[in-house]
Chains A and B, each alone.
Chain A
Amino acid sequence: MLSIKGLKVKLEDEDKQILKGVDLEIEAGKVHAIMGPNGSGKSTLSYVLSGKDGYEVTGGSATLEGVDLLDMEPEDRAAAGLFLAFQYPVEIPGVGNMTFLRTAVNAQRKSRGEEEMTAAEFLKVVRARAKELKIDAEMLKRPVNVGFSGGEKKRNEILQMAMLEPKMCILDETDSGLDVDAMKLVAEGVNALRTEGRGFLVITHYQRLLDHIKPDVVHIMADGRIIKTGGPELALEVENNGYADILAEVA
């Protein structure tokens, strides 16, 4: 599904290399987790994949179902099936959450040559999905993420994911700032979307999210590289011993 080969990325405005050759192969139906200390390049990877400005790819490739992602506009990557749940969801005053969701859903449908959803259809679906995530009608009416608590913002990300039904979902620290109940809700939302055709990349630096979203593969990232790959037990090892052992082992 998502295939990343030797990806090297530097900052556009600064002579700073952040990703130093990342290799990652995520198959449809699988959940991969990336863990790693702060500043190791996890968010950068997610931004580069989704097309944020400010980064320069200096080597390697990234493809989604064989299609080169790195040459595409962000909206085209989204239409191709890529979704990023932001570590820091953006507040957009003046744009209603509903308007935003409907515009996004229909823009993607249009670009794929599918029929747009009517207002009534959309309302029905969004209400049902929102209910599962305990997002109330009031929150849907408010401007995008404005005045939302940390947990509400993260649930709103998952709602967007549920509405857009992407093929490849990247979740960047979706657990940060969540209490246990909120984390369970989010995890349930994610698990509900786990299907054979969909791949997940879950970025986190705590093991606890992975108790709820059981990963198939765990990678450890440090200083712009994947330094170790293993099964779910690798997450437990990090939980118990921290990153120091792994870092020492590799060095």
Chain B
Amino acid sequence: MAEAAVKQTPTDAMIATLDMPQGGWSDAARRDALARVQTMGLPGRRDEYWKYTRPDTLVQAQALPAALRDGDDTVLFDTVDRLKIVFVDGVFDAEASDDLSLDGITIERLADATSDLHWARDVYGVLENNGQNPVPRPLAALNTAFAADGVLIHVTGKPSKPVNIIYRRTSTTADAMLHNCIKLDAGAEMTLLENGPVAARFNGVLEVEVADKAAFHHVRAQGRDHEQRAATHIFTRLGAESTFKSFTLTANGVMTRNDCVIELTGDDANATVAGACVGDGGDFHHDDTVFITHDAVNCESRQVFKKVLRNGATGVFQGKILVKAGAQKTDGYQISQSLLLDEDSQFLAKPELEIYADDVACSHGSTSGAIDEDALFYLRSRGVPHGAATDLLTLAFLAEAVLEVEDEALREEVTARLASWLERHAA
């Protein structure tokens, strides 16, 4: 019990700094989440689920400041026709955003959606709460309780263009919590793009309800500010014959923990979560934590994570596939690989399978390796300089994850961003 007493303190300290929005449809969910986070306590160093990642800077009451990044300001997804929603220091900026109306989709700001009856009532905090079992994710519950801003997106059809949430920073100290909810009706489809640094410290939750035969595509780039910290969570539930595809690009940031919790509840559904991460320096720490539950027949899930680590950077992968009894004909694929560009960098991986059905094909693999010297020499012998040859091989290593982005234009933008990062971070 002594441990619980120690853990309560940071949780209370954190809660004391936060204001809960009052009233309206989300009120009950927020109060419930507050009670849950008080019971769970924020993660501590001794939590098994935080074995490889120190939660300290994510749970301390005061966020550490993070310098703004200067340098090239190319905007990702600029070549794509999209509906832009802009947040500055974690606050919606109507001026900078496009008109939010688009056929087939309804977009509202969380802070403005105050009516008593709202579709989001069935999603907000609901998927997050589902995802607390069997492993608690207290930072997500904290977010449900206190997030004051975010977007609510109801997809009823097939909007003509992607929705792009763009995050910008102007403050070195902003500590932001955003909660986004998306509901795709049966047969609906959307692409969500997210890019840019949210805040010095960011706690994000994205809940996505994907109804039967609906399809959700997600491409996210987490901003390139070196000192930023982020704990993000995706919770999704998939209906029959639906598709969920999420890809995350992480370049820089001292501390990133990305949780993704996927529940396949309808037959013949298909979920992919992938990530490409590039990190440079002993301060860089990046953690992908995935939990996929197969609870229906003939579903497929893919986890494809690639990390390039240099100069003492650390990468973590925790990925679990849980196949429930009756989830026959499950096809689960998981791969996590790191390319260590020097001996100081490290990759810690914990792949897990837990299977209660007998007609199942699941595979997982995790590797850490260096640049292939034979390939490097082959390229150099053709006149490609050492640096460019290394970059070419590094991009090739990342390509398997990037290939999970279905749209070619988006894939090219992601690849170009990775290539320019590699150029700036020459070996």
A: which residues have CB within 8 A of B? 50-53, 73-75, 77-79, 83-84, 86, 89-95, 99-100, 103-105, 107-108, 111, 143-144, 160, 164
Given A53-B373, A53-B377, A100-B379: A94 and B384 interface contact (C-beta under 8 Å):
no
A50 near B383: Cβ-Cβ < 8 Å:
no
A78 touches B375 (CB 8 A): no
For residue B399, CB closer than 8 A to chain A, the reply is: yes
Interface residues of B in 371-424 (CB under 8 A from A): 372-375, 377-386, 388-389, 392-393, 395-397, 399-400
Residues of A with C-beta under 8 A to B397: 94
A95 near B392 (CB under 8 angstroms)?
yes
Number of interface residues of B (CB under 8 A): 23
Cβ proximity bits B148-183 to A, threshold 8 Å, 1 near / 0 not: 000000000000000000000000000000000000
Partner of A94, one of B381, B388, B399: B399
Contacts A95-B392, A107-B388 given; does A90 touch B382 at CB 8 Å: no
A100 to B386, CA, bound (A): 14
Query: Lowest 10 A-B CB distances belong to which pairs?
Result: A94-B396, A78-B383, A108-B383, A104-B382, A90-B378, A74-B380, A94-B399, A95-B396, A75-B380, A92-B375
Minimum C-beta distance from B386 to chain A (A): 7
Is A78 touching B386 in the complex (CB atoms < 8 A)? no
Residues of B within 8 A of A160 (CB): 382
Most A C-beta atoms less than 10 A away, residue of B372, B378, B384, B386: B378
CA distance A78 to B386 in the complex (A): 12
* Bound CA span A74–B383, Å: 7
Please tell me if the beta carbons of B383 and A75 are within 8 angstroms of each other in the complex.
yes
The answer to whether A51 and B380 touch across the interface, beta carbons within 8 angstroms, is yes
**Complex CA distance for A144 and B376, rounded to whole angstroms:** 13
Nearest residue (CB) in B for A90 is B378
Alpha-carbon separation in the docked complex, A220 to B42 (Å): 75
Given A92-B393, A94-B400, A95-B393, are A73 and B374 neighbors across the interface (CB < 8 Å)? no
**Inter-chain contacts of A86 with B (CB < 8 A):** 378, 381
A74, A93, A100: which has the most chain B beta carbons within 10 Å?
A74
Asked if residues B383 and A111 are in contact (CB atoms below 8 Å), the reply is: yes
Residue in B373, B382, B392 whose Cβ sees the most chain A Cβ within 10 Å: B382
Q: For the complex, what is the distance from the CA of A164 to the CA of B384, rounded to whole Å?
A: 12
- Per-residue CB proximity of B292-330 to A under 8 Å, as 1/0? 000000000000000000000000000000000000000
Instruction: Give complex CA distance A99, B382 in Å.
Output: 13
Q: Which residue of B lies closest to A143 (CB)?
A: B396
With CB as the reference atom, state the residue of chain B lying closest to A81.
Answer: B383
Residues of B within 8 A of A144 (CB): 378
Contact status A75-B375, CB under 8 Å: no
Q: How far is it, in angstroms, between the C-alpha of A100 and the C-alpha of B397 when the chains are bound? A: 15
Report the nearest B residue to A96, measured CB to CB. Answer: B396
B380 contact from A78, A92, A93, A164, Cβ within 8 A: A78
- Give the one of B375, B380, B395 with max A CB within 10 A: B380
B378 touches A103 (CB 8 A): no
Cross-chain contact A104 with B383 (CB below 8 angstroms): yes
Query: What would be 12 A-B contacts, judged by CB atoms less than 8 Å apart?
Result: A51-B380, A53-B373, A73-B380, A73-B385, A78-B383, A83-B381, A92-B378, A92-B393, A103-B384, A104-B384, A108-B383, A144-B378
Q: Which residues of chain A are within 8 angstroms of B381 by Cβ–Cβ distance?
A: 50-52, 74-75, 77-78, 83-84, 86
B residues less than 8 Å from A100 (CB atoms): 379, 382, 392
Chain B residues lying within 8 Å of A108, measured Cβ to Cβ, are 382-383
Q: Taking A90-B375, A144-B378 as given, write out 20 further A-B residue pairs in contact, using a Cβ cutoff of 8 Å, ordered by the A residue number.
A: A50-B381, A53-B373, A53-B377, A73-B380, A74-B377, A75-B389, A78-B380, A83-B381, A86-B378, A92-B372, A94-B395, A94-B396, A94-B399, A94-B400, A95-B392, A95-B393, A100-B379, A104-B384, A111-B383, A164-B383
Contacts of A84 in B (CB 8 A): 381
Query: Which of chain A's residues has its CB closest to B392's CB?
Result: A95
What's the Cα separation between A119 and B400 when bound, in Å?
25
Given contacts A75-B385, A108-B383, A164-B383, contact A89 B378 (CB under 8 A): yes
The contact of A107 among B383, B395, B396, by CB within 8 Å, is: B383
Contact A78 B377 (CB under 8 A): no
A103 surroundings in chain B (CB, below 8 A): 384, 388, 392
Q: Report the Cα distance A91→B379, complex, angstroms.
A: 11
Q: Are B384 and A75 in contact (CB under 8 A)?
A: yes
Report B-chain residues with C-beta under 8 Å of the C-beta of A104.
Answer: 379, 382-384
| Bound CA–CA A93/B388 (angstroms) | 16
Set of chain B residues within 8 Å of A74, measured between Cβ atoms = 377, 380-381
Q: Complex formed: what's the CA distance from A92 to B394 in Å?
A: 11
Q: Kindly state the separation between the CA atoms of A103 and B378 in the bound complex, as whole angstroms.
A: 13
CB distance from A89 to the nearest CB of B (A): 7
Q: How far is the CA of A128 from the CA of B382 in the complex (A)?
A: 20
Q: Are A107 and B385 in contact (CB under 8 A)?
A: yes
B399: chain A residues within 8 A (beta carbon):
94
